[in-house]
Structure 1
Amino acid sequence: MEPTFVMFSIAHFGAMAALGFLILLLFLTKKKWSIQKEKIRLIERIFALSLLMMEVLYHIWLYQSGSWNWSNSLPLELCSISLMMTIVLLWTGNKHIYDFVFYAGIGGALQAVATPVLDLSFPHFRYFHFFYVHFGIILTALYFTWVKGYRPTFKGIIKTMVALNILLPCVFALNIMLQGNYMFLKEKPTNGSLLDFLGPYPWYILSLEFVAFIIFVCLWLLFRKKKHKGESKG
């Protein structure tokens, strides 16, 4: 029998503790990443390829287990889109993509780790896939902030909100065509999530926009570049 994932179980708390440890380790070692630029680029691209490979293996597993279908297997969830953007960011270092990964990536992945929509638990492959790719999104955003010196901006919040609101109607239309529930635009997840506190359908979608904006502002205030005395405000 395959292990069933239970929220706030030992397997869940273990994953959250592992994420906390990795974030702390990255923060404590942020000034020690002074190796050659070529080696840094190689490490970034190897990590990007590992994220891509993990996602490819996930889809192979879905297909082999007879679970892949158009209604719920396409990479149209927010974290799936953030994962693709994370891979591109690691490969290119594009600062516009950094904004999306930092705000939508961290915001979505943290919520996913806290309240996972996950059926299978440790030591199943799906357990490791789920947490590896979500950890990868968060750690990449923090790596580019703490190590590479990128900084989130308020303009980045606006760009991310605009991008999300362009994505939403596209995904909504695909949900109708494919009978899917990508981004939970049709209904809430059945095993509980943040959406349970945001009202009934469809009002929780509007509530989520407000919550997303508040989370993005909090992230910006926490990680923005602090101005020193005498520095211009422009």
Structure 2
Amino acid sequence: MGDTSDSFELFSIIHFSTLFLLVCLSLILFWQRRNIRSRNPAQLEFWERFAAVSLFAMEITYHIWLVASGRWAVDDSLPLELCSLSLFVTIVLLWSRNRYLVDFVVFAGIGGAIQAVATPVLDMNFPHFRFFHFFYTHAGIILTGLYFVWVKGYKPTFKGVLKTMIYLNAILPVIFIMNWLLSGNYMFLRMKPQNGSLLDFLGPYPWYILSLEAVAFTSFILIWLLLRERKNNGI
């Protein structure tokens, strides 16, 4: 699946090009929001479910590749990372349109996915399958959150920020236990990633976990303010 001997290089031309493409797709979604909104509801439902299936298929293919390449391991391949959980919620949201799931995708999904694409923990470069899987799924989370705000009319609220923080803190004890049982490092709750990330600026273990709480809350607030302001201005 697109073998390459090159490791992914942070802030390389490929990285910046991928980020630029994601920004362009987001802007196109924003500019075309009224045209998309005016389409037949059955058409929108079809494309929403198509997106859900494509994200699910990409994730399943990724796990098949992990097994086939001997990379799958219980300590780091289970869907227990924040973005893995966000991807699952995103897929269910696109398929079911359950509005109770939107808060998590908009705040935890967009916030986590932006951090992930800005500083990817990725050992495969373009054009390897893993490169496409990583950016496709993370872009899918971001664009789905924006789609439900700009097209579907969801209005982010401060209450939604608080609810998402509660959900995350309810999940953390489960992740701690799974890390202890499996000797894993899901959500980086045991140590920082070795190839560098934003966690390097948040202090040593275990204090960076508390810093992560503050970063998460701050990023959720920023997402709320940015998206709420656009809605309130009638844009």
Bin of the TM-score, shorter chain as denominator length: over 0.9
| Mapped partners of 2:128, 2:221: distance in 1 | 36
Identity over aligned pairs, percent: 60
Q: How does 1:36-55 map to 2 (within 5 A)?
A: 36-55=40-59
| Mapped partners of 1:55, 1:83: distance in 2 | 9
> How far apart are 1:3 and its partner, in Å?
2.5
Q: How does 1:121-160 map to 2 (within 5 A)?
A: 121-160=125-164
Q: How does 1:165-176 map to 2 (within 5 A)?
A: 165-176=169-180
| Mapped partners of 2:233, 2:139: distance in 1 | 30
Equivalence for 1:95: 99
Deviations 1:65-108 (A, max 9, x none): 00001000000000000000000110111222100000000000
Unaligned runs of 5+ in 1: 229-234
Matched, 1:59 2:75: no
Unaligned runs of 5+ in 2: none
Deviations 1:154-207 (A, max 9, x none): 111111001000111100110010010000000001111111111100000001
Q: Secondary structure at the match of 2:232?
A: coil
Equivalence for 2:232: 226
| Mapped partners of 2:14, 2:142: distance in 1 | 19
Deviant stretches of 4+, over 3 Å: none
| Mapped partners of 1:192, 1:126: distance in 2 | 19
| Mapped partners of 2:27, 2:127: distance in 1 | 25
Matched, 1:75 2:99: no
Equivalence for 1:17: 20
Equivalent pair of 1:30/1:147 in contact (CA under 8 Å): yes
In the comparison of the two structures, how many residue pairs are matched?
228
What's the Cα RMSD here?
1.1
Equivalence for 2:219: 215
Equivalence for 1:232: none
Q: Secondary structure at the match of 1:120?
A: coil
| Mapped partners of 2:141, 2:233: distance in 1 | 28
Deviates more, 1:92-101 or 1:172-181: 92-101
The aligned amino acid for 1:8 is F
> How far apart are 1:227 and its partner, in Å?
8.0
| Mapped partners of 2:83, 2:35: distance in 1 | 30
- Equivalent in 116, 119, 144 of residue 115 of structure 1: 119
Deviations 1:8-40 (A, max 9, x none): 111111110110110111111111111110110
Equivalent pair of 1:3/1:124 in contact (CA under 8 Å): no
Matched, 1:4 2:7: yes
Equivalence for 1:203: 207
Deviates more, 1:123-132 or 1:24-33: 24-33
The aligned amino acid for 1:226 is N
Matched, 1:32 2:38: no
